[in-house]
Amino acid sequence: MSEQADTRTVLYCAVCSLPPEYCEFSPSRKKCEQWLQGAHPGEHERLYGDQAIAQKMAMTSLSEEKEAKEAAKMEKAEQKSEARMARDMEKKKASKVVIKRIERSKRKSVTTVFGLDVFGIDLKSTAKMFASHFACGGSVAKNPQGLDEIVVQGDFTHEIQDIILAKFPKVPRENVEIGAEEKKKKKE
């Protein structure tokens, strides 16, 4: 009556995070194939070996003209994907993480951190980490431009910079800027 379920281990591609059988439908097909050949040569031979290709070709019923169109379409999709990745890298290199101290009243101030989301850092968990590290309030709020930023109560500009550089190595040192914004004093 009681049957034991067979446990299976599924291999996933490190490039596109799909099983290798589906990598051919990914825009980064060539990179996936190179990874599979280096990491799992037996699986690569099973999927991309001469025998596997001959088997797939026997099952295909496309004319040569359609095959050429499909190959061109796949090549174009791969080029678009590579261009998108290059644009994202350029955006990361050009973007800045801005740490500002903003005065509120008398001796009160808050520190805002803007631009971490571009580097793929979760703002909510980072705000919680800052709040627990400095024993103060920390949250994610919208700035006047409508974009998310981290707000930490107190003046922790240099400490936050040190923590960002230590905990998040994907944020380059030259992309972190510190600024101060003084509250406008009332004219008497």
Pair of tokens at residue 132: 């627990």
Helices 29-39 and 64-94, interaxial angle, to 10°? 90
* Exposure string over 89-106, b if 16+ CB within 10 A, otherwise e: eeeeeeeebbbbbbbeee
Q: Which one has a higher pLDDT value, 183 or 27?
A: 27
**Separation in Å, CA 15 to CA 29, 31, 88, 100, 187:** 9, 7, 16, 37, 60
Q: Which pLDDT score, from 0 to 100, does residue 188 have?
A: 46
pLDDT in tens, 91-123: 777 788 889 988 888 788 899 998 888 888 888
pLDDT in tens, 164-178: 889 988 888 888 888
Residues 152 and 174: beta-carbon distance below 8 Å: no
pTM over 0.85: no
> Residue 128 pLDDT more than 90?
yes
pLDDT in tens, 39-92: 989 888 888 888 777 777 766 665 677 778 888 888 898 888 888 888 887 877
